[in-house]
Amino acid sequence: MISLAGRDILHGWSKYVLTGLGLGLLIGVTLTMAGVYRGMVDDAHALLGNSGADLWVVQKDTQGPYAESSSIKDDVVKSVRGMPGVAAAANVAYFTLQVSHGEKDVRAMLVGMAPGQPGAPGYLVAGRQPTRSHYEAVADEKTGFALGDEIGIRRHSYTVVGLTRRAVSSGGDPMIFVSIKDAQEAQFLKDNDAIVNDRARTAANPVFNRPGVPGLLEAVQNLQTSSRNVNAVLVQIAPGADPEAVAEPIRRWKHVSVYTKAGMEDILVVKLIANSAKQIGMFLVILAIVSAAIVAFIIYTMTMGKLREIAVLKLIGTRDRTIAGMILQQALGLGLIGFAVGKIAATAWGPAFPKYVLLMPGDAVTGFAVTMVICALASTLAIRVALKVDPGEAIG
Amino acid sequence: MKLTPDTTRRIFLGALALALIAALAWVALRTGPLAPVQVQTVKVTHGTVSPELFGIGQIEARRSWMVGPTTPGRVLAVKVDVGDRVEPGQALAEMDAVDMDQRLGALDASLARGQSSRAAAQAQLADALAKRALAEANLKRNQDLARQNFISAGALEARTQETASASAGLQGAQANLDATAQDLNRLRAERAALAQQRNSLKLVAPATAIVSSRDAEAGSTVVAGQAVVKLIDPTSLWVTLRVDQGRSGGLAPGLLARVALRSRPGETFAGKVARVDPMADAVTEERLAQVAFDAVPAGISVGEMAEVTLQLPTSESGLLMPNAALQTQAGSRGVWLLKDGGLSFVALRTGASSLDGMVQVTPLDTNALQEGDAVVVYSQKALSADTRISVVDELTPAGAAK
């Protein structure tokens, strides 16, 4: 049996293939949009996964270090370590800043951590874990730093000793891991001008600069420049323990907020990126409508272009089903080419995006099914026109 | 067979479709979540590590002095300036004596008066002696007369009483004289004390030192114990080192040290751990030690930051691997061992490690890891036992790693 669709495609193949290619680029954009959304969710999960924590102990009544600012004293970790069900606990500091490297600045999230403890980078792609307690950093590849680079953070320069991958903040900024003490200093130590100003201000205050009390002024000034705060305590619970059962006594007795992995995921994925997700969802819907319109339009024009041939077919007694099948097959063929091109294109340009684009196989399957359905629906318009053609037009 | 244009077109389109399908298959399997995770492996070696400790600290003076008055007062003059070198006994500053000289004059006058009182007491003593001598002579004569019954017993008793009175008068005069002598002693001591105080208003250098700060100027009032000038011994500069408690194993006096100063980052200075503080800092979780320079570098300043690397004795021989290979899996530290193309997690106990990242390990299960085994050192993402992997030579593109 002769495939009518195949014959017709063969006849004007270049137009058909080019149309498929164009549709493919559109589908590629749609898949990339979905990938951007998945990437955002994955960034959030990467942040949770990299921390290696089961519980987040944060300042009371705050949502933790990722969603809002949280500051607790760094000795809270000691009391948390003693709570039942806690296997390991470590101080951690997070904050976003510009890191200078030579001429350029890189926006990054600085993570203060203790090597081997929760919060430290779990795996490296090059170099080593820090061995010194100061001035060594492990950077995410995305920062563009190389091993041995000297980077400037506040007043100190750090040596990049290791590189990791996919260690990003929920906003997609690459992470730089340094020791917790360095991070505390970078986060809380004021700049020199501010310190000098504060000293002068304190010295001018008669309450702190009392005659007859030697050492009071110095003591107050030392107090002003030291900080013993961190953003959160990351807790790993003992194997088999129930996170909520471990969290509850800490919440009750230590007067802090404690989030389990599920709670933190809720904050990061549901609350933090909710707006972005809606935005991308809107784009996806619009793109789907536009794709459907374009496919419908293309199929319609293709059909209009061969109305005379269809009339001839009808004249020689071809059944309606065969004609409808031809148009449907062509539409589905366009969808196939478009999907393949789109998938390849999305994979090819995905890594070039500034934000992480995660193309999930599941999304691809859904995308394929939706493409096919849209193509089938879009072809109905053309089929209606084709079936209405008067065979008399063939002789016209 | 001759190819018709139609057949050529078919073949061409078929090839195009095949290429598309092949590209799609490649895309689906080699990229994204279905792709195998690229890993880089390293062979476990056997050997020793030269562990080192690293810490930061600041330059401090082992011997320093805060020179100030022992009583509150006003500064009269400061004779040295910051950076001056002073010798023991050299005057550094002087406090205002206020009324002290006048009080010394008053005491001098009191002393003179005391001398006069003593002279008067001595004269009274002489008078009392004379009176007693007369009374005794009279008594003796009356006793003779009474023996011959020339006088009555009553007259003799009167003479006896006279003699006793004279003796008492003599004792009184003697006591008076003693009192004036004691008074004089007291006044002398008071004067000496005041003179001592007057001397202490001159602030002098206790040892050879340099002036590190000048904290009060002439005219300002300082309280007892407040410093007017601060001195340090420039030959006694050392580094107060802070080492993270968790990595301070092996910290002991005598360890060789390399000191890099913030002002001279390129240079290192040799030194030695002079002392390890018995008290650790509980708040910062650091241990404190003092590192003395072999030769104190010229021109360094107190309070300057220093980085210190301490050389620990070489460890015993054992299995070695880079610390990047260590992973935490379900709460235990270990490595991913690559055997027969599959991954298995080997739990380890870590031992000594060097600053360049080599760490000595002991498998918890003795035979789980041997020298020469390949373990995963770098991976594209976190691994699990059923992760599909492909081993590559280098994970980062060439040129990224220096």
Cβ neighbours of A165 in B, within 8 Å? 380-381
* CA angle (B272 as vertex; B270, B278 as ends), nearest 5: 150
**pLDDT one-digit tens code per residue, A323-366:** 888 888 888 888 888 999 999 999 888 888 888 888 888 888 89
CA-based nearest residue in chain A for residue B26: A344
Average pLDDT in the B131-157 region? 91
How many residues make up chain B in this entry? 402
Measured between beta carbons, the chain B residues lying within 8 angstroms of A166 are 381
pTM beyond 0.90: no
The DSSP result for B162-197, as a single string, is HHHHHHHHHHHHHHHHHHHHHHHHHHHHHHHHHHHH
Percentage with pLDDT > 70 across chain B: 97
**A77 in contact with chain B, both atoms CB, cutoff 8 A:** no
- Of B10-14, B133-137, B255-259, B316-320, the least confident: B10-14
pLDDT in tens, B313-346: 888 888 999 998 988 887 788 899 988 878 888 9
pLDDT reading at B189 higher than 80:
yes
Lowest mean pLDDT among A6-15, A246-255, A317-326, A376-385: A6-15
In this model, does residue B47 exceed pLDDT 80? Answer: yes
* Contacting residues of A for B326, CB less than 8 Å apart: 116, 129
Pairing of strands B64-67, B332-339: unpaired
* A233-244 per-position pLDDT tens digit: 999 998 888 999
- Using CA coordinates, name the residue in chain B closest to A155: B262
Q: What is the predicted pLDDT for the residue at A20? A: 87
The model's pLDDT over B263-307, given as tens digits with 9 standing for 90+, comes to 887 889 999 999 999 999 887 788 999 999 999 988 888 889 999
Residue with the larger pLDDT of the pair B6 and B289: B289
Cβ contact, residue pair A125, B396, below 8 Å: yes
Q: Which residue does chain B place closest to A236, by CA atoms? A: B331
With 80 as the cut, is the pLDDT of residue B128 above it?
yes
Q: Do B400 and A88 touch (CB under 8 A)?
A: no
Instruction: Give the confidence band of B191 by pLDDT, cuts at 50, 70, 90.
Output: very high
The whole-number average pLDDT for the span B73-97 is 92
pLDDT (0 to 100) of residue A176: 94
What percent of chain A shows pLDDT beyond 90? 17
The pLDDT value recorded for residue B401 is: 39
The verdict on B401 touching A (C-beta cutoff 8 Å) is: yes
pLDDT of amino acid B109: 95
| Mean pLDDT of all residues in A174-191 | 87
Minimum-distance CB partner of A126 among B226, B283, B378: B378
Q: Which residues of A touch B223 (CB under 8 A)?
A: 211-212, 214
Q: Which of A88, A126, A341 sits opposite B396 (nearest CB)?
A: A126
The whole-number pLDDT of residue B402 equals 35
Task: State how far the Cα of A24 lies from the Cα of A28, in Å rounded to an integer.
Answer: 6
Report the C-alpha gap between B348 and B366 in whole angstroms: 10
Least Cα distance to B39 among B332, B351, B335 occurs for: B335
- The pLDDT, as a whole number, for residue B397 is 59
